[in-house]
Structure 1
């Protein structure tokens, strides 16, 4: 038996969008169940995101700390951002986010893992990249605003992040998934065996 997620779409009898926000919306679908009954499902429609686990030459991960109002926490995270443009190449988006949030560029990019963050209530898909061979970006720093204006930036040993994840002290989804996937990759076939940065992503098809 192959353990692998598969794309599938059940019949939708009716759909409506009761809320449209700046970046996301809420959709209500009447979905036909296997027994023929119809169940109403509300979920957030999301453009998708990218995140970057950036490792420096000393094996430290670049992390940022910022306030997240929905959960009323200041969280340690890895650089991340929305796929604002339909069909946007996720690698280009990740490179942009690393520049804007950390003023860093990377020469070596791999796909670390792909995740659906909360598939029971949101269609957000996130591609988490591994970035290595880091250097300071050229030009002026990106001008930040709102919560990003209060961000902290740090470089932390991966082992310390893993300890924090397992202790329940670090809770950001992309950071948790990223550092644990990195640890698993190192223990398996190694980081050079990770998928190439331009690997297809069926959840969010993109142009090369």
Structure 2
């Protein structure tokens, strides 16, 4: 049985010494490293870690409180998933808000006037360094036709759907939507709306999990 905790409930940096680390796989997008970690209680464990550049997503909400989702093939799952626009932080020097704004234009063909941080999370903290930030974008306007982006690979010919936020919540809870950005973004947006959109962080809020230097 776990011992009771009497401190604050908030994630924090842990001081665990890495005794050794080596890259055991070099991939096209990310690498895998093998760490030997001293847990500080007499135990040492070996863990394989997928090194990930981090990513951002956009829960875009129109004036009728409809969520913009795009349909994309995801090969590891063998499924077509409905997703909020999202992308890797793989452009040198690009800040996360700029990346999210770029992805909204490229994947959906929209710009937004109002941006807030909606939710931050680690996508799979047991196996990867991927830190993810999902923004809430409102005040949407379509970009001009000549500004449209021609996607490649799985990003070609992605259909889009506008789903009322309440319906999107029902779809998430029914198990019809599985993309983590969609699931967390939809539920976080519904929770934020129930509070009158108060408490949302500004779009440039610190993100120490991905940018510890600020």
| TM-score, reference length from structure 1 | 0.95
Equivalent residues in 2 for 1:167-182 (5 A)? Answer: 167-182=174-189
Aligned to 1:131: 137
Question: For structure 1, which runs of at least 5 residues remain unmatched after alignment?
Answer: none
| Paired residues of 1:90 and 1:206 also in contact (CA < 8 A) | no
What are the superposed Cα offsets for residues 43-91 of structure 1, whole Å, 9 maximum, x if unpaired? Answer: 1110000000000111101100111000111100000000013553100
| Paired residues of 2:192 and 2:198 also in contact (CA < 8 A) | no
Aligned length: 207
Question: For structure 2, which runs of at least 5 residues remain unmatched after alignment?
Answer: 1-6
| Paired residues of 1:29 and 1:41 also in contact (CA < 8 A) | yes
What is the rounded CA distance, in whole Å, between the counterparts of 2:38 and 2:124 in structure 1?
21
Aligned to 1:204: 210
Q: Are 1:77 and 2:94 matched, yes or no?
A: no
| TM-score, reference length from structure 2 | 0.92
Q: CA RMSD in A?
A: 1.6
What is the rounded CA distance, in whole Å, between the counterparts of 2:33 and 2:93 in structure 1?
21
Aligned to 1:183: 190
| Per-residue deviation, 1:192 | 4.5
**SS of the residue 1:34 aligns to:** coil
| Per-residue deviation, 1:20 | 1.3
